[in-house]
């Protein structure tokens, strides 16, 4: 099956030569072709160019995109979309003045979600999670990473990971899986952190490897959660089973997590709301992608990651949602790029690069998605009639997507 998209007002994020990611000044370059065609063969991008060179034959279906733009689907490299129930009660508590930290210290927060998840069957968890996945696909996400970390027992962590595996098998979207057993300390281990980490290392990791349930390992490296030492221990343990680090660091405090990530060749370090100069320095000339999560800053009213400082220092930056029940109950990448422009002073070009090719790199999918490149999956956003791509972040809160395609097929859920 070969599909020709013709008369595309502007084809965005065109990379004739494959690239892994863009950094620094290059983030402000977003290559496009105006009045373009795009050919998709068996789910993969097979050709593209100016309408002047548009093939006249060799396709079985034609889609006329007059007045509309096409860009690669969003690549959301940091989500927790598998969770049970919600934390609307805590949302209201925060409106009334309690802090996110105080709620967590009183047994709410991650522990609240873990209790709910432990009491929820695998089937119900799957049904709740699949609705969220379908929602984000309609919002233009074409690849995403999903973490465990709301189980906090071996059985419940495995339940989460099996749900992720089922989502991966049942939907045409690219999914990468991360084991985040060290997300918070369960109550039973309140005085025995070593015991909990030992449980994760000796019991959870071997089972995860046996069932091939994860590609990445994560830990919440933060004051009051897990230390740099704990982080190094978990990353070393994960490495023995072939799990690559992608870690939560510098959300509330900077304690050296970025350096630990770099030392252990983390694919990404995520959050980064609090960045010291030495943390920015540590990321220079490494293969570790910094990932900012602006919707989390928005929802919790905490600082935004200093995007300008990082990009001006020559670093790359990816943007992701952090979709989770506590700090970011939204998986809308369109809102993420708007917020990155409005609050973090990223230009539309930088934000689109951060949400496509750099996001793809941050989950090890840069050879498959994230740009209009021959051989990549045809995961595409067809916009409504808009005058420029900058209109997408500008018109925040308004859906500018007309259709989404995964592996070349229109997705109607």
Indicate the helix (H) or strand (E) that contains 34: strand 32-41
**Which does residue 339 bind out of Zn ion, ligand NIG, none, counting CB within 5 to 8 angstroms by kind?**
none
**Binding to Zn ion, residues 296-335 (CB under 5 A):** 322
- Binders in 83-142 for ligand NIG, by CB under 6 A: 109-110, 113
Is residue 177 part of the contact set for ligand NIG (CB under 6 A)? Answer: no
Q: Under the criterion CB under 6 A, does residue 376 sit at the interface with ligand NIG?
A: no
Q: According to CB under 6 A, which residues from 294 to 323 bind ligand NIG?
A: 296, 322
Give me the sign of the Cα torsion angle 95, 133, 135, 138.
positive
Among positions 153, 259, 327, 332, the unique one binding ligand NIG when judged by CB under 6 A: 327
Helix H or strand E segment including 269: strand 268-271
Q: Does 251 bind ligand NIG (CB under 6 A)?
A: yes
| Cβ distance to Zn ion smaller for residue 3 or 79 | 79
Strand partners, 154: none
- Tell me if 183 is assigned to a ligand binding site: yes
- Contacts for 8 with CB less than 8 Å, ≥ 6 apart: 33, 35, 36, 37, 38, 65, 68, 69, 70
In three-state secondary structure terms, 303 is coil
Residue 273 interacts with Zn ion (CB under 5 A): yes or no: no
What DSSP element (H or E) covers 2?
A: strand 2-12
Residue 404 interface partner, choices Zn ion, ligand NIG, none, CB cut-off 5-8 Å depending on type: none
How many residues of this chain bind ligand NIG (CB under 6 A)? 12
Distance in angstroms (rounded) separating the CA atoms of residues 366 and 85: 33
Q: How many CA atoms lie within 13 A of 335 on its CB side?
A: 18
Helix 154-170 and helix 110-118: axis angle, to 10°? 80
Residue 248 annotated as part of some ligand binding site: yes
- State the number of binding residues for Zn ion (CB under 5 A): 1
**Least distance CB 216 / Zn ion (angstroms):** 12
**Residue 153 binds which entry of Zn ion, ligand NIG, none, with Cβ cut-offs from 5 to 8 Å by kind?**
none
Residue 23, binding choice from Zn ion, ligand NIG, none, Cβ under 5 to 8 Å by partner class: none
Q: What is the dihedral of CA 401, 402, 405, 408, to 10 degrees?
A: -130
Query: Which of these, 222, 221, 256, lies nearest to 235 by C-alpha position?
Result: 221
Regarding 220 and contact with ligand NIG (CB under 6 A), the answer is yes
Residue 304 is given by DSSP the state P
Which CB atom, from 273 or from 322, has the smaller least distance to Zn ion? 322
Q: How many CA atoms lie within 13 A of 402 on its CB side?
A: 14
Q: For helices 154-170 and 122-138, what crossing angle results, to 10°?
A: 40
Query: Which of Zn ion, ligand NIG, none has residue 294 at its interface (CB below 5 to 8 Å by kind)?
Result: none
In sequence order, which ranges of 139-201 are alpha helices (DSSP H)?
154-170, 193-199
DSSP 377: B
Determine the interface stretch with ligand NIG among 40-48, 128-136, 304-312, 325-333 (rule: CB under 6 A): 325-333
Residue least distant from Zn ion (Cβ): 322
Q: From the list ligand NIG, Zn ion, none, which binds 326 (C-beta under 5 to 8 Å, kind-based)? A: ligand NIG
Query: Which parts are annotated binding residues for Fe(3+)?
Result: 78, 80, 248, 322
**Footprint of ligand NIG on this chain (CB under 6 A)?**
109-110, 113, 220, 248, 251, 296, 322, 324-327
Query: Which parts are annotated binding residues?
Result: 78, 80, 87, 150, 183, 248, 251, 322, 324, 326-327
């Amino acid at each position: 099956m070969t599909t020709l998209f013709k008369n595309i007002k502007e084809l965005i994020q065109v990379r004739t030569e494959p690239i892994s990611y863009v950094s620094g000044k290059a983030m402000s370059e977003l290559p496009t072709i105006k009045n373009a065609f795009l050919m998709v063969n068996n789910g993969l991008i097979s050709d593209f160019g100016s309408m002047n060179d548009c093939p006249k034959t060799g396709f079985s279906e034609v889609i006329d995109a007059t007045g509309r733009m096409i860009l690669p689907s969003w690549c959301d490299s940091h989500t927790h979309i598998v969770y049970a129930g919600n934390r609307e009660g805590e949302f209201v508590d925060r409106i009334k003045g309690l802090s996110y930290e105080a709620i967590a210290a009183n047994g709410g927060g991650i522990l609240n979600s873990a209790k709910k998840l432990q009491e929820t069957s695998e089937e119900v968890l799957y049904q709740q999670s699949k609705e969220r996945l379908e929602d984000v696909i309609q919002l233009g996400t074409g690849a995403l990473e999903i973490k465990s970390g709301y189980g906090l027992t071996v059985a419940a962590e495995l339940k989460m990971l099996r749900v992720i595996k089922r989502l991966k098998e049942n939907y045409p979207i690219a999914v990468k899986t991360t084991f985040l057993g060290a997300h918070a300390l369960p109550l039973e281990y309140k005085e025995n952190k070593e015991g909990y980490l030992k449980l994760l290392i000796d019991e959870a990791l071997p089972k995860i490897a046996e069932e091939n349930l994860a590609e990445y390992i994560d830990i919440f490296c933060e004051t009051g959660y897990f230390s740099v030492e704990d982080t190094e221990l978990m990353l070393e343990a994960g490495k023995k089973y072939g799990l690559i680090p992608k870690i939560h660091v510098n959300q509330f405090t900077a304690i050296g997590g970025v350096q630990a990530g770099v030392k252990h060749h983390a694919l990404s370090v995520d959050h980064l709301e609090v960045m010291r100069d030495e943390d920015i320095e540590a990321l220079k000339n490494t293969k570790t992608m910094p990932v900012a999560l602006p919707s989390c800053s928005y929802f919790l009213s905490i600082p935004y990651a200093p995007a300008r400082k990082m990009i001006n220092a020559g670093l790359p930056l990816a943007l992701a949602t952090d979709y989770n029940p506590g700090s970011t109950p939204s998986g809308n990448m369109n809102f993420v790029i708007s917020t990155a422009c409005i609050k973090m002073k990223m230009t539309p070009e930088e934000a689109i690069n951060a949400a496509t090719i750099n996001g793809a790199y941050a989950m090890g999918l840069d050879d498959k998605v994230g740009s209009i490149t021959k051989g990549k999956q045809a995961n595409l956003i067809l916009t409504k009639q808009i005058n420029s791509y900058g209109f997408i972040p500008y018109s925040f809160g308004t859906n500018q997507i007309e259709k989404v395609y995964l592996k070349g097929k229109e997705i109607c859920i």
